[in-house]
Amino acid sequence: MSTTDATTTPLRARAAWASLERHHGAIRERHLRELFAGDPMRGERLVAEGAGLYLDYSKNRITDETIGLLLRLAEECGLAERRDAMFRGERINVSENRSVLHVALRMPKGESVVVDGVDVVKEVHEVLDRMSAFADRVRSGEWKGHTGKAIKNVVNIGIGGSDLGPVMAYEALRHFSRRDLTFRFVSNVDSTDFVEATRGLAPEETLFIVSSKTFTTLETMTNAQSAREWSLGTLGDDSAIAKHFVAVSTNAEEVTKFGIDPDNMFGFWDWVGGRYSMDSAIGLSTMLAIGPDGFRDLLAGFHALDEHFRTTPLERNLPVLMGLLAVWYGDFFDAQTVGVMPYSQYLQRFPAYLQQLTMESNGKHVTLDGRRVDYQTGAVFWGEPGTNGQHSFYQLIHQGTKLVPVDLIGFGKTLNPVRDHHDILMSNVFAQAEALAFGKTEDEVRAEGTPDAIVPHRVFEGNRPTNVILAEQLTPYALGTLVALYEHSVFTQGTIWGIDSFDQWGVELGKVLAKRIIPELESETELAHDSSTNALIRRYRALR
Ligand code: F6P
């Protein structure tokens, strides 16, 4: 298969696609009960391991033939070639004409990727070293605020990728975090977010990190201006800004205009997408919380999974398998969503983080060369930590009419051993995967003496697919591997669908319209929208 074939043949015209369609017709009616009964080793065979993660994908509605065909599809779509092109720094983000090099953010010192004559890994480490020096100064109390007091509170202001990664990582790695520092996160332009995040904090002990790749995002700039007023309201003069504001951005010009000293700016590059940036300087709050060494462990985890993705044969490659299975369910079984259920309270924001990663990446309806797709692309990702989800929406997954493939994530050891909590927690991971796959038959329900009329209500059809992902413990390293796992699964899916997983044009229109509407809310100007928008604006004018 030449590179040209890989990019020009429409997906549904590929030989492997046609084979998968036929194969789906045969497998659709087969039950996991039957597949397991016919293959006693299935649960030990259909697993893969890498970078400290164990993936059990045996409870999927697949056979060896399915995997073979999906791998053939990956080959026909040029997955390995596109992956290698990404690692080489080629401009695979075609609609923005950019390289896609988040993998360079976690390459060890000494490795090199040259883009336009510049060794980006060297630049990455220069920023990391500056971040580390800064983090050490703040954490040790050497960095003093305007009145000479040490920093006790860190407030990250950002939105989307400049917020979700930092919040998720802060929550996930709380165990490793400095407990005598307070961390808060402001993202929403709803002033409530800012007011509640700064409530009770003393400006003289508070450091704001203004995180924005572009440094033009309306929400972030509005919150940053309010933070500035909040600080200066107490600290008085403008010179306080240098001690209480740092910026993380690719836009030095706008940072300077805002009044932040470029010496207090930590840069990154246009080849880091916002949703792929938590391991860049956008992770400054993470580094302040867990320290430079912890942050480097996080990067090492990312890198270990990158290496797994780059070098492991596709049939044993965790993100490739997960990505192909997502395509299998989305395109052949018509599954619209994927549930991600981390059995860890620390991972409570992981599903929200994954929503941007997956849906901003793969929620696209045109191919790289601009053709409308005639197949399904990115699923809706959603989830909640187990076991909470079990007592709310799992009912629908077990007995509803929709097929929801689910990822269940668990850990061998808890960071907070208390009595037998962890065994109870993990028993639920295994029980849910078992119940979803095998269900409970009518005969089994009857054998329990259930009255006839109630039997149908108590039957579990089963045949609901799951991936179970296990790691030893939720360390910074393990978090890095988990995030990279999903990043590369997203890449795999996007490559099969032939879409640009690294642009996000779909967020633009709403932003432009909001900017047009803002002055219309503040004055009685004539309105020229559709009748619904006009009426809503008039109603708001009356209410405000
Ligand atoms: O509106 C979407 C988006 O562009 C995301 O892709 C990005 O993560 C977020 O806004 C924030 O952008 P910035 O970091 O430039 O403020």
Task: State in Å: Cα 312 to ligand 1 middle.
Answer: 32
pLDDT of residue 6: 63
Per the CB < 8 A criterion, the answer to whether 170 and 183 are in contact is yes
- The response to whether residue 251 sits with its C-beta less than 6 Å from ligand 1 reads no
Percent of the chain with pLDDT over 70: 99
Q: What is the pLDDT of residue 8?
A: 79
In three-state secondary structure terms, 91 is coil
Burial class (CB within 10 angstroms; exposed 0-12, middle 13-18, buried 19+) of 253: exposed
Whether ligand 1 lies within 6 angstroms of the CB of 159 is answered as: yes
DSSP one-letter code for 366: B
Q: What's the rounded Cα separation, in Å, for the pair 221 and 227?
A: 10
Q: Which of 210, 211, 214 to mutate to test the pocket of ligand 1 (most atoms within 8 A of CB)?
A: 214
- The continuous run of DSSP H or E covering 293 comes out as helix 284-311
Q: Which atom of ligand 1 is nearest to the CA of 275?
A: 8
Distance CA 437, CA 434 (A): 5
Catalytic residues: 360, 391, 511
Taking CA atoms only, the protein residue closest to ligand 1 atom 10 is 160
Q: Is the CB of 504 under 6 A from ligand 1?
A: yes
Q: Do residues 144 and 204 lie in contact, with contact meaning Cβ atoms separated by under 8 Å?
A: no
Which residues pair with residue 265 across a beta bridge?
247
Q: H or E element: which one contains 475? A: none
Q: Is 361 in the pocket of ligand 1 (CB under 6 A)?
A: no
How many other C-beta atoms lie within 10 A of the C-beta of residue 111? Answer: 14
Mutating to test ligand 1, I would choose from 98, 102, 159, 250 the residue with most ligand atoms within 8 A of its C-beta, which is 159
How much distance in Å is there from the Cα of 214 to the middle of ligand 1?
A: 8
Query: Nearest to residue 376, comparing CAs of 336, 319, 340?
Result: 336
- pLDDT of 5: 62
Which residue has its alpha carbon closest to ligand 1 atom 9? Answer: 160
Q: Which of 135, 143, 164, 150 is nearest to 266 (CA)?
A: 135
List of residues 6+ apart from 118 with CB closer than 8 A: none
Q: How far is the CA of 213 from the centre of ligand 1 (A)?
A: 7
DSSP assignment of 497-518 equals HT--TT--GGGHHHHHHHHHHH
Burial of 311 (0-12, 13-18, 19+ CB in 10 A): exposed
Tell me the torsion sign for CA atoms 4, 5, 9, 12.
negative
294 lines ligand 1 (CB under 6 A): no
Contact present, 184 and 153 (Cβ < 8 Å): yes
Is the CB of 465 within 6 Å of ligand 1? no
Query: Are 26 and 34 within 8 A, CB to CB?
Result: no
d(CA 324, CA 525): 52
Contact yes or no for 283/169 (Cβ under 8 A): yes
Residues of the chain with pLDDT under 50: 1, 3
Ligand 1 atom with least separation from CA of 249: 14
255 torsion bin: left (phi>0), alpha (psi -120 to 50), beta (else):
alpha
Q: Ligand 1 center to residue 428 CA distance, Å?
A: 37
Q: Is the CB of 212 under 6 A from ligand 1?
A: yes
Say yes or no: CB of residue 275 within 6 Å of ligand 1. Answer: yes
